Structure 1
Amino acid sequence: MVVSAALLLETASQTHDSLTWVTHSGEVTQTANATLQHLQQAESGQRGFTLTRNPEFGEAVQTELAAAQRAANELMIRTADNPAQNARAAHIRTLVSQRVNELEGNARLARAGDFSGAQASVATGRGRYLMQMVDARVDDFLNEESALAAQRTHLVERRVSQSRWLVLVATPVMIVFIVYMAVALIRRIRTPVDRMMAVMERLGSGERNARIDGAMNSDEFERLANGLNAMAGELEHAVADQIDSEERLRIANLELSENSEVLRERGEVIELLGGMAHRMQAARTDEELASIIRVFVPRVLPEIPGALYAHNNSRNLLVPIAAWGGLEVASAGFAPDQCWALRRGQSHFVVEPGSDIVCAHAVHGNDAAHHYHCEPLLAGGEVIGVLYLRGVVGAENRFRLTVLTENIASALVNHRLQRGLREQTIRDPLTGLFNRRYMEETLALEIARASRSKSPLSLVMCDVDHFKRFNDEFGHDAGDAVLQAVAAEMRGRFRDGDVICRFGGEEFTIIAPGTSARTLAHRVEIVRQGIGELMVQQGGRTLGSLTMSFGIATWEEAMERDGSTLIKAADAALYRAKREGRNRVILDARSEALPDTQPEI
């Protein structure tokens, strides 16, 4: 195939070259004819100009003479590859130049008006002689070029014929060779494949010791045979082990059947605890967390009453979070050393009287619990509480108890972290009061609530009089002590529903829902008097008396809903108190005009 392709390529290349030469001969012939035609046209134009004296014939003469010279020069260029023809072309160009010179001379005489002289020059016959010489030389040139073209055309036909015979001969030979190779390859493949198929059929019929024997006459089939024999050997060993495997499987199925009920029950418990954990993670208050525990723990450990205890902030007591199953517990809680589970850091239980030491917190009066279970709650290696169960936790409930304590411990830690983070974001670290951000959010909510319910809402703005004096005379620590003392006094004097905030520096804000300014003024006056009686101690010294000024305003529908107008009104009242001598309570002008319709609460 490669040889045939090479021969065809060579023949095609030669044919292309021959066709190129044939085309070249045509172009040479066309150029020679053009030379003669232009010269003849110029001669006819010159004769017409001389006879008719029409200038148009004279103009055509110059154009044709120039074209004849260009064609003669081009003929020289096109025959540069053929010395004989190039010599003929050179002779033709010389004759053409002579005839052109003569015709130009006659044209000059005619243009000068000497038509008789031009006619006389024509009558000499020299022009006719030169023209006959040009015709003869062009005919010789064309005859020679025609012979070359015929020779080249014959060469093209011969090479095309060679290509045709090459295709006619090479194609059947290649087809026969391909068929022969295909048959040989099929025979070499079919024999080993038939042997392997026979062995595979024997294996499929149950003859486990069937193997492929003998040479396969091919490396590939030899590897396939070895692989098939290895697979058959493994299959034989696998069948030998089948009885043992089936027996083990039967035993495993029996065990699985026995444990299916346990697994189903554990799955239900895990699903139940998942719902419990999801709700505990979403709890925001201690009461919500306790409610979740009271609902879900009896479902996880049915018919076992109990209680959940957790460390207080001081970690000196375990206080009850929730109790269920009718169990009553003391709200005061108990000390950590009263529980053996907390002491040991592991489960502690009593299943019958005298079986183990009884925890002090499990003793009620003179009676001790005869059977109970204490499970410590661990998180990060730290004990955070204890789960107290009144009853015996059997082996079937140990899994429930383990995952229950893990979930409760994780929820308690998360709840405490959330509460701590919440306190950090809304509390002023120095005074423990709510910060300004919380005040602004709460004020907007209270305004919306007062607008819906048409109930009064008042705001107090106050600050410590001459606070700068404490910082200048006693230092900033003294100023901090004053702010802490004032904050403690206000926390003890205002209602639980009032929101006491540190506005900034020595300024404080109190949001009083459900109270008018005039009613609130009585309570603020009591606070003012109480602050005046404070004697703040710092570093073993008395800082002196304190006074505060207060400004009160009540929200109205005309004010802005974000509370900014109400704050400005209370702040304006505070500045009035400052201007009027400090240490007093002042209502803004609008609040003074409102009647006192709200009783003192």
Structure 2
Amino acid sequence: MFTSITARIAAFGALVLIALLALIWMLVDASIQTRDSFRWVTHSAEVIETMDDALVALREAESAQRGFVLTRNASFADPTDARIADARQSMARLVRLTADNRAQNIRARDVQALAERRVTLLRDTLEQARRGQFDAARGSIAAGTGRDLMTMLSLRADSFLSEERALRITRIAAADSRLAWVRQLALVGGPLLALAILSISLLLIWGIRQPLGLIHQAMTALGRGDRDRRVTATMGSREFAQLAHGYNAMADQLQAAIADQGRSAQDLQAAHAQLLRNSDTLQERGEAIELLGGMAHRMQAARTDEELAQVIRVFVPRVLPGVPGALYAHNNSRNLLVPITGWNGFQPREEGFAPDQCWALRRGQSHFVAQPGGDIVCSHVDADLLYHCEPLLAGGEVIGTLYLQGVVQEESRFRLTVMAENISSALVNHRLQRGLREQTIRDPLTGLFNRRYMQESLAIEIARARRSGAPLSVVMCDIDHFKRFNDEFGHDAGDTVLQSVATEMRSRFRDGDIVCRYGGEEFAVIAPGATAQALAARVEMVRKGIMEIVLRQGGRALGSTSMSFGIASWDDKMAIDGSTLVQAADAALYRAKREGRNRAVIDLPAAA
């Protein structure tokens, strides 16, 4: 289908890109569906909790009313109105929560109607007692109407809760199924894609080396005196077919010259020298293609910035010997070209440069100065330097640039072009892999590291502390009276509080500290190299900073908040997986809660 090597390489790159995009799309789609499933599970739990709250409030109101009627003690009647209001509020909220489910909404409204009847009866009996008509009130209770209503209400509520629990089980099963699909997609799709890339790369290399060997054999035979040797086999690509055709034509001319005695010995020697030069060029081109293929494969397999930089430092000097330079990658958030690495002794500018400072990126093609004053000099290059800038683009988007100090000779342009395409593809792949990694280790609400990353990092830091003997401490903390924000202002306000606290903690702790959202309103901090006592001063600054936060949601003031902290340090008696250290910090946190909240407590064994 593709008769050109260049077309095959381009098609291979396109197929790899399409496969990567397809895999990423499937992973993102599956993740979104999983998130939605868990949201519905949470919704069902909230519906069940709301129904339970309404029933508890109604029963407590009924108990308070009966206590007042039977004992004539007015203190029993005080909480009745408040619990009736709570019950009605919970019933109204239940109706709103089930608006997305017609059947459950009908059941909720039915329960709400029965609850209103029970509330009316409760209030009527309570008013009789308050007016001093205790005999009439006891008669109303003894009539059993309230008990019958409460029995009917409980039966309807049980039916509602049974349906909602069954719905939650179904949603949990759907979420688990989608999680299994994401895991299977990641475990199967990645290796299959890597295997496909390796297989196609080997086919491309074989497609280059096989015709190259035939041509080289023919040339070697011709150089040894076999004047009739020709390349007759199928080359498999247009470029090698042209080379074979050129070789055959040259060999024919050489044979004709030998047959024609009129040719001079000088012409014969010149033709032979040209043939040898072509052979060396062809062999050098094949070696370059093989080297670039190995470089591309390693770049695609790199997982970190340092691994990618190491591949560049090892292979670029082999592809372009004697040419120093650097690779810059585009940082979207800062809109800067930042250095990845340099080679052959060149030290790139650590601060980077803006894209509009490079003429290669402006024009979307190579830009070079091969002699002083030969062209416009880029702003990021010192004056009077000979250099070459090669833009790295993908789909019209700036990926980075290759800066080469000196002049790139014409015979090296092919290597530079293929190398730039390979590096562009590798940078795009690296960026996508890093984005996926961030999604798996970050909490989506606060942007902090999640609990899974915290557990992995803690095990790593404990191993380092065991080897080096350096101190290691952990902080467990949570927001005081967090439920108040959800109850008074709604869950969106609770999310605002979590985000504000997370921002404050991220700005107050050191860059080396690992700040995580442990779950709900609870956070955790891993502090390598810090003792509990030294860490306590830093925690105190964080505690005061959180108290000073002015919490607002839109134009609504939410008030202020505070946090309680528990600090513990690791020692050799603790489990190496970090569980014991977390438990110690958690115990200190509970002590801080018991002692009045809004304080930091150091774990006593660690402090001792």
Shift of residue 541 of structure 1? 4.2
Deviations 1:438-466 (A, max 9, x none): 11112222333334444443221101112
Structure 1: distance between partners of 2:399 and 2:467: 44
Q: How does 1:97-176 map to 2 (within 5 A)?
A: none
Structure 2: distance between partners of 1:351 and 1:576: 72
Change (3 A) 1:247 1:376: closer
Matched, 1:271 2:285: no
Shift of residue 558 of structure 1? 3.7
1:283 to 298, 302, 311: 302
Aligned match of 2:172: none
Aligned match of 1:590: 605
- 3-state SS of 2:559 partner: coil
Structure 1: distance between partners of 2:373 and 2:463: 63
Shift of residue 547 of structure 1? 0.7
Q: Report the residue type matching 1:517 in the other structure.
A: A
Matched, 1:415 2:435: no
Aligned match of 2:452: 437
Shift of residue 566 of structure 1? 2.3
- 3-state SS of 1:501 partner: strand
Deviations 1:403-453 (A, max 9, x none): 211221122112212222221111112222111001111222233333444
Contact 1:553–1:569 (CA<8 Å) still a contact in 2? yes
Structure 2: distance between partners of 1:247 and 1:580: 96
Contact 1:518–1:591 (CA<8 Å) still a contact in 2? no
Shift of residue 396 of structure 1? 0.5
Sequence identity percentage: 72
2:477 to 462, 472, 486: 462
- 3-state SS of 1:302 partner: coil
Change (3 A) 1:315 1:519: closer
Structure 2: distance between partners of 1:573 and 1:314: 40
Shift of residue 257 of structure 1? 4.4
Change (3 A) 1:485 1:249: same
Runs of 4+ in 1 over 6 A off after TM superposition: 245-248, 252-256
In structure 2, stretches of 5+ residues that fail to align are 1-246, 256-271
Matched, 1:548 2:563: yes
Structure 2: distance between partners of 1:550 and 1:252: 89
Matched, 1:340 2:359: yes
Q: Report the residue type matching 1:494 in the other structure.
A: F
Structure 2: distance between partners of 1:247 and 1:389: 38
Deviations 1:85-128 (A, max 9, x none): xxxxxxxxxxxxxxxxxxxxxxxxxxxxxxxxxxxxxxxxxxxx
Aligned match of 1:515: 530
Matched, 1:299 2:288: no
Matched, 1:250 2:269: no
Q: Report the residue type matching 1:297 in the other structure.
A: V
Aligned match of 2:545: 530
Shift of residue 353 of structure 1? 4.1
Change (3 A) 1:286 1:251: farther
Contact 2:341–2:348 (CA<8 Å) still a contact in 1? no
Structure 2: distance between partners of 1:251 and 1:477: 85
Q: How many residue pairs end up in the alignment?
A: 345
Shift of residue 310 of structure 1? 1.6
Q: Report the residue type matching 2:438 in the other structure.
A: E
Deviations 1:528-587 (A, max 9, x none): 112222223432444322210001223344433322232222222212211211100112
Aligned match of 2:511: 496
Aligned match of 1:567: 582
TM-score by length of 2: 0.52
Structure 2: distance between partners of 1:392 and 1:515: 52
Aligned match of 1:314: 333
Q: Report the residue type matching 1:250 in the other structure.
A: D
**Which stretch of the first structure deviates more once superposed, 300-309 or 348-357?**
348-357
- 3-state SS of 1:549 partner: strand
- 3-state SS of 2:292 partner: helix
Contact 1:276–1:292 (CA<8 Å) still a contact in 2? yes
Change (3 A) 1:359 1:251: farther
Quick check: which has more Rg, 1 or 2?
Answer: 1
- 3-state SS of 1:518 partner: helix
- 3-state SS of 1:543 partner: strand
Structure 1: distance between partners of 2:442 and 2:254: 61
- 3-state SS of 1:321 partner: strand
Structure 1: distance between partners of 2:459 and 2:405: 48
Q: Report the residue type matching 2:482 in the other structure.
A: F
Q: How does 1:190-201 map to 2 (within 5 A)?
A: none
Change (3 A) 1:248 1:302: closer
2:416 to 377, 387, 401: 401
Structure 2: distance between partners of 1:292 and 1:569: 44
Structure 2: distance between partners of 1:282 and 1:392: 31
Shift of residue 285 of structure 1? 3.0
- 3-state SS of 1:360 partner: coil
Change (3 A) 1:251 1:437: farther
2:488 to 466, 473, 478: 473
Change (3 A) 1:316 1:442: closer
Shift of residue 393 of structure 1? 1.8
- 3-state SS of 1:358 partner: coil
Q: How does 1:197-236 map to 2 (within 5 A)?
A: none
Aligned match of 1:236: none
Aligned match of 1:447: 462
- 3-state SS of 1:428 partner: coil
Change (3 A) 1:479 1:313: farther
Contact 2:472–2:530 (CA<8 Å) still a contact in 1? yes
Q: Report the residue type matching 2:288 in the other structure.
A: V
Structure 1: distance between partners of 2:537 and 2:520: 25
Aligned match of 2:150: none
- 3-state SS of 2:475 partner: strand
CA RMSD of aligned residues (A): 2.7
Change (3 A) 1:493 1:405: same
In structure 1, stretches of 5+ residues that fail to align are 1-244, 595-601
Q: Report the residue type matching 1:450 in the other structure.
A: A
Contact 2:566–2:603 (CA<8 Å) still a contact in 1? yes
Structure 2: distance between partners of 1:481 and 1:252: 84
Deviations 1:342-389 (A, max 9, x none): 122222223234443333333x3xx354x3222111234433111122
- 3-state SS of 1:434 partner: coil
Change (3 A) 1:434 1:302: same
Aligned match of 2:163: none
Structure 2: distance between partners of 1:474 and 1:252: 93
Structure 1: distance between partners of 2:552 and 2:248: 87
- 3-state SS of 2:380 partner: helix
Change (3 A) 1:318 1:268: same
